[in-house]
């Protein structure tokens, strides 16, 4: 196979969200609110268990009732995405009710995300080799500012985001849209992601698939470099 394009997932693949504790601290500071240190740590842990930080840990217990349906299809629209994550957040008590929306807004800030250490290097090397690059993400908001802020945007040829199309991975239609945007056939395309179910959906089209470990950035300094060997 001659690889003409590589599709990358966003969260857990090219970028990693900040820790739940850093996330909560930033929001409290912006709002001029505070919690005693032990309570702040406990609250951050509770938010993490709830799965309230998009890009962070999944809920420790499956959402129930109306929240379960929102959660299942959270990446199909911006409204569902916000409702799902603020719904999870509201399971945890905060000093003021408006902080739940503030937490959601914070996770969209470019500063809340850190690129994996080898992301710029790998994307730049693909660009030098003439390999097209696309980003295919299950998400409820525009991640392009994150790429621009961290200097990765010049290496990306197309963004295919679930909420913009009302389709979420592993639905093959999202990968089809990405291949069409890059002008490549699926059999000439490699999909790179951290979620075997969602990102593995590209295999149904005939794309090759490569998985990376969803780890904190400091613990995965070179997890993307094998992509360059796969491309050849």
**pLDDT tens per residue, range 2-55:** 899 999 999 999 999 999 999 999 999 999 999 999 999 999 999 999 999 999
Spell out the SS3 assignment of 216-228.
CHHHCCCCCCHHH
User: Are residues 145 and 211 part of one domain?
Assistant: yes
User: Are residues 179 and 197 part of one domain?
Assistant: yes
* Mean pLDDT score, 59-73: 95
Q: Mean pLDDT for the chain?
A: 97
Catalogue the long-range contacts made by 77-86 (C-beta closer than 8 Å, 24 or more residues apart). 77/140, 77/163, 77/166, 78/140, 78/141, 78/163, 80/140, 81/54, 81/139, 81/140, 81/141, 81/163, 82/140, 85/52, 85/53, 85/54, 86/52
> Could you list the residue range(s) of the whole structural domain that residue 37 is in?
18-111
User: Are residues 150 and 225 part of one domain?
Assistant: yes
Contacts of 145 (CB under 8 A, 6+ apart): 110
Q: Express each pLDDT in 90-110 by its tens digit.
A: 999 999 999 999 999 999 999
How high is the pLDDT of residue 1? 63
Q: Express each pLDDT in 160-194 by its tens digit.
A: 999 999 999 999 999 999 999 999 999 999 999 99
User: Are residues 198 and 174 part of one domain?
Assistant: yes
User: Are residues 103 and 43 part of one domain?
Assistant: yes
Which has the closest alpha carbon to 11: 160, 114, 157? 114
Using pLDDT thresholds of 50, 70 and 90, give the confidence band for residue 202: very high
* Mean pLDDT score, 115-130: 98
Q: What's the whole-model pTM score?
A: 0.96
User: Are residues 227 and 140 part of one domain?
Assistant: yes
């Amino acid at each position: 196979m001659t690889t003409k394009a590589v599709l990358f997932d966003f969260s857990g693949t090219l970028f990693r969200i900040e820790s739940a504790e850093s996330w909560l601290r930033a929001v409290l500071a912006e709002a001029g609110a505070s919690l005693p240190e032990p309570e702040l740590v406990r609250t951050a842990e509770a938010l993490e268990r709830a799965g309230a930080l998009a890009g962070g840990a999944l809920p420790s217990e499956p959402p129930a009732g109306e929240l379960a349906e929102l959660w299942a299809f959270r990446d199909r629209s911006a409204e569902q995405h916000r409702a799902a994550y603020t719904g999870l957040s509201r399971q945890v008590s905060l000093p003021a009710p408006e902080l739940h929306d503030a937490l959601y807004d914070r996770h969209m800030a470019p500063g809340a995300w850190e690129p994996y250490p080898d992301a710029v290097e790998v994307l730049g090397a693909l660009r030098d080799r003439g390999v097209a690059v696309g980003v295919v993400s299950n998400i409820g908001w525009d991640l392009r500012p994150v790429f621009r802020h961290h200097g990765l945007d010049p290496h990306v040829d197309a963004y295919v985001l679930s909420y913009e199309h009302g389709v979420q991975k592993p639905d093959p239609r999202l990968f089809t849209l990405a291949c069409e945007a890059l002008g490549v056939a699926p059999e000439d395309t490699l999909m790179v992601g951290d979620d075997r179910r969602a990102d593995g959906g590209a295999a149904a089209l005939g794309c090759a698939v490569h998985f990376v470990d969803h780890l904190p950035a400091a613990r995965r300094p070179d997890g993307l470099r094998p992509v360059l060997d796969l491309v050849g």
